[in-house]
A = this chain, B = another copy of it.
Amino acid sequence: MLTSEIAMAPGIVRLPKSTFREHIAERLRAVILSGEVPPGAPIVETALARQFEVSRGPLREALRQLIEEGLLVTVPYTGTHVISLSVEDVREIHSMRVTLECFAFEQAWDKRDATFRAELQRRHAALVATIDAGDDRASILAELELHGLVYEVCGHRLLQRTWNSLRGRLQLYWAAHHRAHSIRGPKRDGHESYVETALGDDLNAMRAEIAAHMQRGGQQTETFLKGMAQPSTDPSKRG
């Protein structure tokens, strides 16, 4: 779904104005989030500019965008590289997910119409399909799609924006996680009760379900990360 398409009339959409910066940012984000360019990998402007067949101007702007999104880190006059998340970073991602997703369900609780229910089950089925097929990369995307539904439905743009930012880090972590040990594949789905509760009538139960769900995921990855403690390269500063 292209969010940059602006509806003007039935069947008519304004084509998004294209700049090199946008295309580069999009493609670069894709290869980073897919894990093709692993965490910690250096990003060299001149090489990338040659590869994308553009000059360094628009490339640098694309990099600046990804830096602000929290996917890259740069040191002036020295270099740029893909962030590598520490154990603590991952822990923070999980706790933040609980908070945001509970808030999203609170906002969306009264908006769960028939369309929502059907879409939720459709996405769950899609996730199960990718897991059964053993397609790790697709299952990552499917799981993000499933959890993303409530943010789309709740109608809170600022919340969705925040989730988008968090989703990037989560996806980055999952991709690296899978890349390193591929422990996602064999595991069972674990979203049955999530979907069931989301379709039920108990908001408090949903809050508990989210916390439990994230904690399961957190513990699974916690054991994996033990021992390979790498320093966080995530800048806690603002600019």
Any B CB within 8 A of the CB of A144? no
B239 touches A162 (CB 8 A): no
Q: How far is the CA of A19 from the CA of B238 in the complex (A)?
A: 15
Contact of A239 among B17, B25, B169 (CB under 8 A): B25
Q: How far is the CA of A159 from the CA of B4 in the complex (A)?
A: 28
Any B CB within 8 A of the CB of A99? yes
Tell me what chain A mostly uses at the interface: helix, strand, loop, or mixed: helix
In the complex, what residues of B have CB within 8 A of residue A222's CB? none
Question: What total of chain A residues lie within 8 Å of the partner, measured CB to CB?
Answer: 45
Report the copy number of this chain in the oligomer.
Answer: 2
Most central of A18, A88, A107, A236 by chain B CB within 10 Å: A236
Q: A60-B61, A65-B68, A76-B17 are in contact. Are A158 and B89 (CB under 8 A)?
A: yes
Q: Which of A33-41, A46-54, A90-98, A179-187 contacts B (4 or more CB under 8 A)?
A: A90-98
A239 touches B22 (CB 8 A): yes
B157 touches A238 (CB 8 A): no
Q: How far is the CA of A61 from the CA of B58 in the complex (A)?
A: 10
Quick one: closest B residue to A77, CB to CB? Answer: B17
In the complex, what residues of B have CB within 8 A of residue A169's CB? 158
Smallest CB–CB gap between A27 and chain B, Å?
12
Smallest CB–CB gap between A69 and chain B, Å?
7
In the complex, what residues of B have CB within 8 A of residue A22's CB? 76, 239
